[in-house]
């Protein structure tokens, strides 16, 4: 097991020159366990914000890309619009408020191609085997880091490019 400092140094080494982080996780679109995703994404973004290399005209942002929940419905059989509103309300806006960085949500159509649990930045991809619900425990407790293999995915960028080409359902353009 790594210490928090060792884990943070590894994450920062991967993202410190990025101006945009893209979180790809298909399970966020199911709209369940959002507090777990909140804590995992917050952890990574805070490391990035604290240690990144800044430019004078620096604008940074985080994009969350997921797929529509099962049958285009998320929690309690809600429709896509309600599910997206729930993700925005419980995940994106609170993260944005706490971290002071722009956070956008993009929901893709259901597709066999969308299986990603990656962090993308500067044309590089890092695969998170477990996804971005990194911590054990519930609520705001951080009871420890769940076992999660994180590795550079040298073949990941073409896969993420396929995902970018899947039809976007939200926001509606």
Distance CA 19, CA 58 (A): 7
Yes or no: say if 125 and 82 are a contact pair by the CB < 8 Å rule: no
Q: Percentage of the chain with pLDDT > 90?
A: 42
pTM of the complete model = 0.87
Q: At what angle do helices 34-51 and 4-15 cross, to 10 degrees?
A: 70
The tens digit of pLDDT for each residue in 128-153 reads 887 887 776 654 445 566 666 777 88
Residue percentage of the chain with pLDDT more than 70: 84
Tell me the pLDDT band of 124, cut-offs 50, 70 and 90. Answer: confident
Topology of the domain covering 4-168: Endonuclease; Chain A (3.30.870)
Q: What is the mean pLDDT of residues 85-100?
A: 96
- Domain residue spans in the chain? 4-168
Taking residues 152-160, report their average pLDDT.
84
Q: Phi/psi of residue 128, each to 5°?
A: -110, 105
Give the 3-state secondary structure percentages of the chain, helix then strand then coil, rounded to 5: 40, 20, 35
């Amino acid at each position: 097991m790594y210490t928090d400092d060792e884990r943070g140094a590894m994450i920062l080494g991967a993202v410190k020159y990025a101006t945009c982080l893209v979180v790809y996780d298909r399970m966020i679109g199911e709209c369940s366990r959002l507090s777990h995703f909140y804590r995992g994404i917050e952890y990574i973004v805070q490391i990035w914000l604290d240690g990144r290399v800044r430019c004078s005209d620096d604008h940074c942002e985080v994009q969350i890309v997921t797929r529509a929940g099962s049958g285009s419905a998320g929690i309690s059989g809600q429709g896509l619009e309600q599910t997206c509103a729930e993700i925005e309300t419980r995940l994106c806006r609170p993260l944005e408020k706490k971290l002071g960085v722009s956070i956008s949500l993009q929901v893709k159509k259901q597709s066999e191609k969308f299986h990603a649990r990656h962090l993308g930045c500067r044309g590089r991809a890092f695969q998170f085997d477990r996804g971005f619900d990194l911590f054990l425990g519930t609520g705001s407790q951080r009871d420890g880091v769940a076992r999660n293999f994180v590795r550079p995915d040298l073949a990941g960028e073409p896969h993420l490019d396929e995902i970018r080409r899947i039809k976007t359902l939200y926001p509606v353009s």
